[in-house]
């Protein structure tokens, strides 16, 4: 994207290789008095070596003129959904593809509600829906609005989707007649620190390849019948999606039985049997920095599946099963730099059995799950995991959406990544 003015405030020592090192921030300014503080935020981001593309809602332009932000950011401010002449690329996709992070400051109750509801009725809300990287909201509003059940519900829903928040804080509000209480937008310095933190997390994952297995395997008895399990593939898919959002390259080896579309941006390898999954993991293992074995791999497979359909007339067939290869254990004994995360499905003596799996399979971390517990069933939206690292205390997570749990799992796995 092109700017309307060159970078202002050109102190080379402050901008070259600054803390943000040319990272690209989309700053959506929505209509609240705290918009004036966002002018300082733009300055701070530029001083830290970042770039800023400002978007404004119509209401925001009543508080601060777009020209102020354009001058501070060195880029034309985008406000219109349908600018004239129409740009070649859809206007909402241009910034959504350009940015490394989207910051909404101030974020009004109205904007938070629109984002939670998936509405796209102006440029900032449409860009926010289309944006696939980390999102940071800095709410600012009257304390009565902030504490209203509707706003709190929206915040909770957005948090579940992985949206980050900073503030609001208690203290003097922008408007002189406003009552005290929580609602004041965080200071630009704190917002900048948070932006830096979120981007740093991402940079730890850039240039990393994550290999994720997901879903059930199916083991054929004959051309029409098979043995399988209840895995939905949601947990593994969530890990793959969150790894993509962190900037990693992701290879997803997934059971064909999973019908859901794969997360955007993954390299998908579809397999059917445990043997195919094992071959696929081995083929891609050298390339990866982290293996997450979320698949429910069959432990047994029919020793000799019938080439033609078994017929009733021939009587009840005798099934002879043989053991499949333990893929996780193979990975644990063949790794060089790779960090390895496995899952453990246990219905009793949970921690003890997870500890045994951790050691016997040579993993760095085991995500322990009991599918018989409420909110942790196969195929559900939520899961209750306990993360058991090889070198520390188990961490019991609360009931979380699979997306949040995947985030926590990657956070915990991060420290096992080898130095680059």
Q: Which residues bind ligand CTP (CB under 6 A)?
A: 274, 293, 295, 297, 299, 324, 326-328, 342-345, 357
Nearer to ligand CTP, 222 or 299 (CB): 299
Nearer to ligand CTP, 146 or 226 (CB): 226
Nearer to ligand CTP, 10 or 360 (CB): 360
* Least distance CB 160 / ligand CTP (angstroms): 25
Look at the block and give the residue holding tokens 């390898």: 269
* Least distance CB 162 / ligand CTP (angstroms): 24
Give the Å distances, CA to CA, from 369 to 9, 188, 241, 375, 398: 54, 41, 20, 11, 12
* Least distance CB 365 / ligand CTP (angstroms): 11
* 397, 386 contact by CB (below 8 A): yes
Nearer to ligand CTP, 64 or 344 (CB): 344
Largest CA-CA distance found in the chain, in angstroms, rounded: 88
* Least distance CB 103 / ligand CTP (angstroms): 37
Select which of 110, 164, 229, 369 is catalytic.
229
Residue 254 tokens read as 């997934």
- Tell me the sheet residues that pair with 388: 366
For 359, the enclosing helix (H) or strand (E) is helix 350-361
CB-based burial label for 41 (10 Å; 0-12, 13-18, 19+): buried
Find, among 301, 299, 216, 219, the residue nearest to 253 by Cα.
216
3-state DSSP assignment of residue 235: helix
Nearer to ligand CTP, 289 or 346 (CB): 346
Residue 229 annotated to the active site: yes
* Least distance CB 328 / ligand CTP (angstroms): 3
Instruction: State the Cα torsion 392-398-403-408 to the nearest 10°.
Output: -20
DSSP 299: S
Active site residues: 229
């Amino acid at each position: 994207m092109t700017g309307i003015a060159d970078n202002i405030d050109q102190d080379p020592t402050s901008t070259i290789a600054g803390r943000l090192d040319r990272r690209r921030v989309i700053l959506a300014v929505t209509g609240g008095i705290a918009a004036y503080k966002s002018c300082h935020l733009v300055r701070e981001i530029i001083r830290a070596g970042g770039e800023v593309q400002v978007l404004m809602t119509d209401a925001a332009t009543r508080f601060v003129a777009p020209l102020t932000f354009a001058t501070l950011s060195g880029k034309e401010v985008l406000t219109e959904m349908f600018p004239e002449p129409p740009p070649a690329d859809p206007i909402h996709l241009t910034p959504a593809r350009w940015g490394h992070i989207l910051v909404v400051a101030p974020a009004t109750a109205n904007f938070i509600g629109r984002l939670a509801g998936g509405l796209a009725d102006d440029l900032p809300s449409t860009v926010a829906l289309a944006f696939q990287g980390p999102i940071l909201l800095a709410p600012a509003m009257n304390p009565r609005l902030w504490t209203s059940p509707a706003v709190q519900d929206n915040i909770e829903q957005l948090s579940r989707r992985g949206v980050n928040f900073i503030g609001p804080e208690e203290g003097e509000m922008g408007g002189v007649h406003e009552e005290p209480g929580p609602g004041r937008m965080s200071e630009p310095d704190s917002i900048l620190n948070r932006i830096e933190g979120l981007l740093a997390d991402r940079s730890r994952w850039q240039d990393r390849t994550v290999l994720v297995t997901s879903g059930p395997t199916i083991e054929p008895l004959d051309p029409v019948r098979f043995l399988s399990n209840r895995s939905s593939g949601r947990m593994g898919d969530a890990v793959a999606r969150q790894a993509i959002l962190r900037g990693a390259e992701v290879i997803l080896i997934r059971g064909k039985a999973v019908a859901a579309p794969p997360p955007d941006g993954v390299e998908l390898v579809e397999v059917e049997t445990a043997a195919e999954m094992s071959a696929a993991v081995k083929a891609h293992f050298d390339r990866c920095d982290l293996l997450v074995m979320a698949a429910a791999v069959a432990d047994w497979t029919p020793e000799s599946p019938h080439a033609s359909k078994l017929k009733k007339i021939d009587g009840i067939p005798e099934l002879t099963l043989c053991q499949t290869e333990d893929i996780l254990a193979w990975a644990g004994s063949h790794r060089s730099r790779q960090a390895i995360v496995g899952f453990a499905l246990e219905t009793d003596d949970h921690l003890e059995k997870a500890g045994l799996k951790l050691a016997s399979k040579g993993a760095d971390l085991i995500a322990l799950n009991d599918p018989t517990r409420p909110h942790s069933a196969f195929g559900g939206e939520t899961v209750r995991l306990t993360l058991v690292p090889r070198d520390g205390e188990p961490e019991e997570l609360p009931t979380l959406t699979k997306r949040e749990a995947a985030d926590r799992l990657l956070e915990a796995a991060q420290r096992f990544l080898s130095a680059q």
